[in-house]
């Protein structure tokens, strides 16, 4: 049996909606098994016996893993994987992969776009033109804020954070950052606390991953430290922000503006943020270009192919890097 024929016998579970290009590749390479959502109650006896891999946007919890005793690998579509119980996966010798690097530049571009939108109020200026206000009322009001003279802080100096920092340097902004630990060899000023970073800058960009350690890390105290001229941008995870505190800070002038691509309970966006005139809001489109999503899809499926042919992953997440394939 050839390697291609071997792969055709491997059952890959795809719960819910998935990327079309990834589905095409899975269908041509593996035996795709579809399920409405990642729910153990929907797992059949045949799935229990046959499924060896999962390709998914959605979170995969411990119960779902336990329902599939022959599961070897979870190929998560995206760089963030906080919705996958990686601790349980590691304990059960299940490999988890994600799709880093291929979306870095696209997300960094979006972060800069959000920052400029929030500072210069460009979406409302475009609406002013489109709805005829320019003709009826004259020029759009001057923007109160500018990028000039700003100091930027990045919460989460990983691949995407570094790409954003390099873009900010081109705009002439000094950059500082906060991480769980200082990045060796990186020249940007490091702050051991998020509040300390906020106190030192007036522009805070969050690229932090989700999870218990970052839950509502951007809170009222941090926003107050950012100050009345402060601008907050979130391109990471909505769970890292206390959205009620953010809405209050925007309403009472604690900070000046915010640009958000992610929210705690997507696609539900708090009304207070929707109504705020000093926000620029996007529907989680940081990596949403055909070019980048295709690259993410390829990496997701390439991880499956590499695992079931070479018995090694291409981009394992840190928590499962020591998981070894059986046989």
CATH code (residue 232): 3.40.50.720
Tokens describing residue 301: 């499926």
- The one catalytic residue in 180, 266, 291, 310 is 266
Residues of the chain with pLDDT > 90, as a percent, come to 97
Q: Does residue 128 lie in a domain region?
A: yes
Q: Does residue 295 lie in a domain region?
A: yes
Q: Residue range 21-45: average pLDDT?
A: 97
Q: Which domain holds residue 78?
A: 3-102+290-320
Residue 271: what pLDDT? 98
Residue 22, SS3?
helix
pTM, two decimal places: 0.93
pLDDT at 10 over 80: yes
Residue 254: what pLDDT? 98
Q: Which of 4-13, 31-40, 88-97 has the lowest mean pLDDT?
A: 4-13
Q: Residue range 54-66: average pLDDT?
A: 95
- The one catalytic residue in 150, 167, 237, 293 is 237
Residue 6: what pLDDT? 86
Residues of the chain with pLDDT > 70, as a percent, come to 100
Q: Residue range 105-127: average pLDDT?
A: 98
Residues 123 and 169 in one domain: yes
Q: Residue range 132-152: average pLDDT?
A: 98
Q: Where are the alpha helices (DSSP H) in the chain?
A: 3-8, 20-29, 45-50, 62-66, 86-91, 104-120, 122-130, 133-137, 159-170, 194-200, 220-226, 243-252, 271-275, 290-310
Residue 215: what pLDDT? 97
Q: Does residue 260 lie in a domain region?
A: yes
Residues 212 and 243 in one domain: yes
pLDDT at 327 over 80: no
Q: Which of 55-59, 157-161, 268-272 has the lowest mean pLDDT?
A: 55-59
Residues 246 and 294 in one domain: no
C-alpha to C-alpha distance for 320 and 95, rounded to whole angstroms: 6
Residue 58: what pLDDT? 79
Burial 69-83 (b: 16+ CB within 10 A, else e): eebbbbbbbbbbbbb
Residue 5: what pLDDT? 86
User: Nearest CA to 145 among 249, 278, 246?
Assistant: 278
Residues 44 and 135 in one domain: no
Q: Does residue 135 lie in a domain region?
A: yes
Residue 3: what pLDDT? 82
Residue 291: what pLDDT? 97
Residue 2: what pLDDT? 85
Residue 73, H or E segment:
strand 73-76
Residue 4: what pLDDT? 84
Residues 12 and 123 in one domain: no
Residues 315 and 207 in one domain: no
Quick one: pLDDT band at residue 55, thresholds 50, 70, 90? Answer: very high
Q: Residue range 206-210: average pLDDT?
A: 96
**pLDDT, tens digit, 9 for 90 and up, residues 297-324:** 999 999 999 999 999 999 999 999 999 9
Q: Residue range 26-49: average pLDDT?
A: 97
**pLDDT, tens digit, 9 for 90 and up, residues 232-286:** 999 999 999 999 999 999 999 999 999 999 999 999 999 999 999 999 999 999 9
Does residue 266 have an active-site annotation? Answer: yes
Does residue 319 have an active-site annotation? Answer: no
Residues 33 and 160 in one domain: no
Residues 162 and 246 in one domain: yes
Q: How many domains does the chain have?
A: 2
C-alpha to C-alpha distance for 41 and 59, rounded to whole angstroms: 15
Q: Does residue 18 lie in a domain region?
A: yes
Q: Does residue 276 lie in a domain region?
A: yes
Contact call for residues 98 and 296 (beta carbons, < 8 A): no
Residue 152: what pLDDT? 98
Residues 255 and 181 in one domain: yes
> For tokens 């979870």, what's the residue?
74
Task: Name the average pLDDT for the chain.
Answer: 97
Q: Does residue 83 lie in a domain region?
A: yes
Residues 109 and 198 in one domain: yes
Q: Does residue 325 lie in a domain region?
A: no
Does residue 284 have an active-site annotation? Answer: yes
Q: Residue range 215-244: average pLDDT?
A: 98
Output the CA torsion sign for 55, 261, 283, 62.
positive
Residues 9 and 122 in one domain: no
- The one catalytic residue in 124, 284, 294, 319 is 284
Residues paired with 84 in a beta bridge: 60
Residues 98 and 109 in one domain: no
């Amino acid at each position: 049996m050839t390697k291609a024929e071997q792969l055709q016998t491997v059952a890959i579970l795809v719960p819910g909606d998935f990327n079309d290009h990834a589905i095409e590749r899975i269908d041509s390479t593996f035996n795709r098994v579809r399920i409405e959502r990642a729910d153990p109650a929907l797992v059949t006896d045949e799935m229990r016996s046959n499924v060896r891999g999962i390709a998914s946007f959605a979170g995969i919890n411990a119960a779902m893993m336990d329902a599939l005793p022959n599961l070897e690998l979870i190929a998560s579509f995206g760089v963030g994987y906080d919705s996958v119980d990686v601790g349980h996966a590691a304990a059960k010798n299940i490999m988890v992969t994600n799709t880093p690097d291929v979306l870095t530049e696209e997300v960094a571009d979006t972060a800069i776009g959000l920052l400029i939108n929030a500072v210069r109020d460009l979406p409302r200026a475009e609406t002013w033109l489109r709805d005829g206000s320019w003709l009826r009322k004259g020029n759009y009001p001057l923007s109160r804020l500018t990028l000039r003279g700003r100091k930027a802080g990045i919460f989460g100096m990983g691949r995407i954070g570094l790409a954003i920092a390099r873009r900010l340097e081109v705009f002439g902004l000094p950059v500082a950052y906060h991480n769980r630990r200082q990045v060796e060899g990186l020249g940007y000023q490091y702050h051991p606390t998020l509040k300390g970073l906020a106190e030192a800058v007036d522009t805070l960009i969050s690229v932090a991953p989700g999870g218990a350690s970052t839950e509502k890390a951007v809170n009222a105290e941090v926003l107050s430290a950012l100050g009345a001229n402060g601008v907050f941008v979130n391109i990471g995870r909505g769970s890292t922000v206390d959205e009620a505190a953010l809405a209050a800070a925007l309403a009472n002038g604690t900070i000046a503006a915010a640009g958000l691509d992610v929210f705690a309970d997507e696609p539900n966006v708090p009304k207070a943020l929707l109504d705020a005139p000093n926000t620029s809001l996007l529907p989680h489109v940081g990596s949403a270009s055909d070019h980048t999503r295709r690259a993410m899809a390829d990496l997701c499926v390439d991880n499956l192919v590499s695992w079931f042919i070479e018995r090694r992953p291409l981009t394992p997440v840190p928590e499962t890097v020591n998981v070894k394939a059986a046989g």
